[in-house]
Structure 1
């Protein structure tokens, strides 16, 4: 008999790849003292009643998104996260949330307030961060770019089906050599008869392995400025492959995109993008939305810990009865109240036309930093079960890490705000900056 691979602690595989041993017990049977996250805990994190800051419409949408997320996503998220697969069968359910297109009016889009959109994304992230990222990439990046930078014909052609999730979008800026330094991208767009030819490579592009509509940002070979293009799935020379072995947002299908002489007709060039500054209005809004993802993740972790500590008993008492646990729970709760206020104020600054790039960057950097503390405390509170995705916290702990880095790392966003408050840009090392003088 071949030796076992994977040890003797349950289901392993023999040398031929066949499974050996018994399958794992259901979590409820293996650990009956606490309810797993497939039955999501009640929402109890709004301690300062910040819901009062929302309009009736915003509160109604939040309630709807919360109910659908808990019913449709919570029961399947652990399975698909573990498999690193996206639950395509859930897309029609996500469509019923009515979030695609967010603040865009017309073309089948909901025309939400930015606050309603942000709060709703937090509600999705509270249950599952991967699904919230799927919606953000599709709506706040791909759709918003077409809505803000596209022609009227492009809006009418692409937005209605995207708004209903009949087609799915992705947004490609980052490249293998250019992450934080995204404005230096190399992917080229060369003018050819009837349109453009795209050549280059993109990396970390969410939804790209299955997207029907790909918004590609490339450098104009003549002007050397940034241009935007709509590329359709299956275009000759286009190849998108899945990035494997991620530890976070495992349901999100991030991909490497290769562009080899991909032809884009002139009518699919986004006429409103002629420099990097032209996409800043897209990034400003999407950065606010991303700032609300850590808020939602923290809310879910707190809700899970609050229920778990009352259900789980040790030393003859529920864990909630111990002073150390109560202190950690209160620290988590305090962070969430502050995060909610920062997120809400950020939305109001945007809606009143007062928001600056520094405001958005500080919001995203700060909420993701505070959320790191919340999920770390949550992992401690759940003890051994804190490393099981079944109880949400381990999954949330891992999912937060890519969010901490995307849409501008903590450091880069801090420097954006730093530049704004000091008037001095410090993105390049001093030696590099001097050499270019």
Structure 2
């Protein structure tokens, strides 16, 4: 967003190096040229085009040339990368972040130093593709206490039984990062499960009206055996899982911000080309008011997520601040996407004008990585000192 009309306060220029901004500008252009033209049909067919990762993987967006390792690994660069991807399409942002955010974070911060060192190059290059498997059919918001997938140790192996649901990208993954409760001590542990291991069954969830190109899966694990070497040695309790979620939640706030930018792009493009009553739609007062409100939402969300990432890059990690950012940006995403659809009118329901994708996808972003209500309770607890969780 270095020269972007939507970045009115110069957030990208203030927070990113020139080299990092150049990488993101190249990404934005690649998305516009090679990916966005595919997404209406992808949404219609509910299939992610192979061309998406085939185009993005060679760009090495987790360790781009010319960008220092410190900046490439920063919350700020990761955030702007999420925003740029989501501005094009939220399913594209989600499938890439499943690898670069969820799976990578799980191993880098949930594994031992040796595990992180061995796996990280494979993750950055996409030589190994992985997904994060926490949510279950009967446990989403109450997963901390309700996690039902079980693991028991037999010698140097663990045996896992249970189910996971809503796991994005599982059908194309090589490895599943599965969270299970240790029957011996009742604590949550994490395991790297081979997607083709005996006892693993993956079924695609059909009938979605949001994030349609992204394949979400229901995973059943029956007597799946995993060696102790494949247990992530830094995850030994729910507290450790919460630490991972704290790092991941900021990515979703950035995706919610990018969704808004994409919706506003679609609305402005339509308003400046469509004519009604003999003049440009963009010249009507009510249309301009809606566009201004949308820009206000994008700008305030961008201010919030850059402040959060700056804080995290300074070493301050706060559950309530991550939750606040996700809660606010996801709510604003709903409003912004609805306004974009309004500006485009009936045509806003057609995929060819892009706003329909953002309108539908805002519902998924509003719910994943912590619902509005759960994030509100995290924030509320920090304000009052009293937990209102059931």
TM range (shorter): over 0.9
For 1:371 and 1:220, locate their aligned partners in 2 and report how far apart those are by CA, in whole Å: 38
Equivalent residue number for residue 164 of structure 1: 125
For 1:166, what is the secondary structure of its paired residue? coil
Give me the whole-angstrom Cα distance separating, in 1, the residues matched to 2:134 and 2:314: 28
For residue 286 of structure 1, what is the aligned residue in structure 2? 248
> What TM-score, normalized to structure 2?
0.94
1:179 aligns with 2:140: yes
Give structure 1 stretches of 5+ with no counterpart: 1-41, 429-437
What is aligned with 1:49? 10
* Counterpart in the other structure of 2:89: 128
The equivalent of 2:377 in structure 1 is 415
Question: C-alpha separation between the residues in 2 aligned to 1:147 and 1:354?
Answer: 18
Alpha-carbon distance, 1:156 to partner: 4.2
In the other structure, the counterpart of 1:221 is 183
> 1:360-380, CA deviations, whole angstroms, 9 ceiling, x for partnerless residues?
000000001011111111000
- Give yes or no for the alignment of 1:324 onto 2:286: yes
Unaligned runs of 5+ in 2: none
Tell me by how many angstroms 1:100 deviates.
4.1
Q: Distance in 2 between matches of 1:341 and 1:90?
A: 29
Q: Which residue of structure 1 aligns with residue 362 of structure 2? A: 400
CA contact (8 A) 1:98 1:110 kept: no
1:341 aligns with 2:303: yes
Residue-by-residue CA offset, 1:28-77 (whole Å, 9 max, x unaligned): xxxxxxxxxxxxxx953223333332222332232122122112211111
Aligned to 2:208: 246
For the 8 Å contact 2:247–2:317, the answer to whether it is kept is no
Task: Report the 3-state secondary structure (helix = DSSP H, G, I; strand = E; otherwise coil) of the residue aligned with 1:75.
Answer: helix
Identify, as 1 or 2, the structure richer in helix: 2
Partner of 1:72: 34
- Provide the C-alpha distance between the structure 2 equivalents of 1:52 and 1:100, rounded to a whole number of angstroms: 20
| Alignment partners' CA distance in 2, 1:367 and 1:85 | 27
Aligned residues: 384
Q: Deviations over 1:202-246 (max 9, x none)?
A: 100111122101100000000000000000121000011101011
Helix, strand or coil at the partner of 1:306:
helix
Provide the alpha-carbon RMSD of the alignment: 2.0
Q: 1:96 aligns with which of 46, 54, 58?
A: 58
Q: 1:195 aligns with which of 154, 157, 160?
A: 157
Inter-partner Cα distance in structure 1 for 2:12 and 2:221: 46
- The match for 2:325 is 363
Per the alignment, residue 29 of structure 1 pairs with none
**Of residues 211, 219, 238 in structure 1, which corresponds to 2:173?**
211
* Rg comparison, structure with higher value: 1
Residue 149 of structure 1 is matched in structure 2 by: 110
The 1-side partners of 2:4 and 2:358 are apart by: 16
